[in-house]
Amino acid sequence: MPETSAIADALTTARPRALAALLRRFRDLDAAQDAFQEACLRALATWPERGMPADPLAWLVLVGRNAGTDRVRRRSRDVPLPPEDALSDVSDAEAPLVERLDDAGCGDDVLRLLFVCCRPELPPPHQIALALKIVCGLGVAEIARAFLVSESAMEQRITRAKRAIAKAGICFEVPSAEEREARLSAVAAALYLLFNEGHCGRGPGDPRVTLAAEAIRLARLLAALFPGTPELDGLLALMLLHHARAGARTDADGAIVPIEAQERRRWDEAVVAEGLALLARAQAAGPPGPYVLQAAIAAEHVPARDGGGCDWRRIALLYAMLERVQPTPVVRLSRAVAVAKTFGPQAGLALVEGLAGALDGYLPFHDVHGALLAQLGRVEEAHGAVARALALATDEAQAARLQRTLADLRGARTTR
Quick one: pLDDT at residue 95? 46
Which domains does the chain carry? 4-106 (1.10.1740), 332-416 (1.25.40.10)
Q: What are phi and psi of 250, to 5 degrees?
A: -130, 150
Quick one: pLDDT at residue 70? 80
Give the pTM. 0.77
Sign of CA dihedral 325, 331, 337, 340: positive
Report how far residue 336's alpha carbon sits from residue 345's, in angstroms, rounded to the nearest whole number.
Answer: 9
- Residue 237 near residue 295 (C-beta atoms within 8 A): yes
Give the pLDDT of the chain (416 residues) as one tens digit per residue. 567 778 888 887 788 788 878 877 887 777 888 899 899 999 999 998 888 888 888 899 999 998 888 877 766 555 455 555 544 444 444 444 444 333 433 346 777 778 877 877 788 888 888 888 877 777 788 788 878 888 898 888 888 887 777 776 665 666 677 777 788 888 899 899 888 877 765 555 555 667 788 889 889 988 988 888 999 999 999 999 999 988 888 777 777 788 878 888 889 999 999 999 999 999 999 899 999 999 999 999 888 766 567 899 999 999 999 999 999 999 999 999 999 999 999 999 999 988 988 999 999 999 999 999 999 999 999 999 999 999 998 878 788 889 999 998 987 766 66
Quick one: pLDDT at residue 174? 62
Sign of CA dihedral 10, 13, 19, 20: negative
Q: What are phi and psi of 394, to 5 degrees?
A: -115, -5
- Residue 135 near residue 20 (C-beta atoms within 8 A): yes
Nearest to 136 by CA among 60, 212, 220, 203: 212
Quick one: pLDDT at residue 284? 95
